[in-house]
Amino acid sequence: MWKKKAMSTKEAAAFLSEELGLTISTNLLAQWRFRETGPAWKRVRGRIYYDPKALKRFVHQRRAEHSWPVGVVLRALLKIAPELLDDYVSVDNLRADVAAFAHRGKLTWQAAITAMRSICPWLSETAIHDALLNTESRDVLDADEGS
């Protein structure tokens, strides 16, 4: 019965892209499988399948659990694009640009992605996802957060 309702990688990528409002590629899903950070999946006869319920749980978790203080998103952005400081007069100006996407001092998953893309359109989606999802970096950044 699980097989009948299962989605292929391509279908799962389209579903997640629509639900999260991001471009989720099949390559990104493959990277998430490798890193064990994405939605649950199964291999059946050499093919990868996703359970729609697991995809919905993944979307719900991303929306509910992932929000970051402005300073954390700012530090993640500077970690992957340190050249930004050359373009801004001060870190405070950059912080203000990131804060423009915040609600009550925090950025949701979508707001953080949108902020990082608007400030650095040349960054790859994988780099943005990795910077925001890297648990070890988040722990360090949260400990340093002063705002």
Torsion of CA 143, 34, 36, 49, to 10 degrees: 150
Q: pTM for the complete prediction?
A: 0.50
Rounded (5°) CA angle 135-122-8: 60
User: Contact at 8 Å (CB) between 109 and 115?
Assistant: no
Closest CA to 68 of 125, 2, 16, 138: 138
51-84 pLDDT, tens digit per residue, is: 988 888 888 777 666 677 888 888 888 888 888 8
Distance CA 35, CA 97 (A): 31
List, as one string, the DSSP characters of 41-89: -EEETTEEEE-HHHHHHHHHHHHHH-EEEHHHHHHHHHHH-TTHHHHSS
3-30 pLDDT, tens digit per residue, is: 458 899 999 999 888 877 667 889 989 9
**DSSP secondary structure code for residue 36 in this structure:** T
Query: What three-state secondary structure class fits 39?
Result: coil
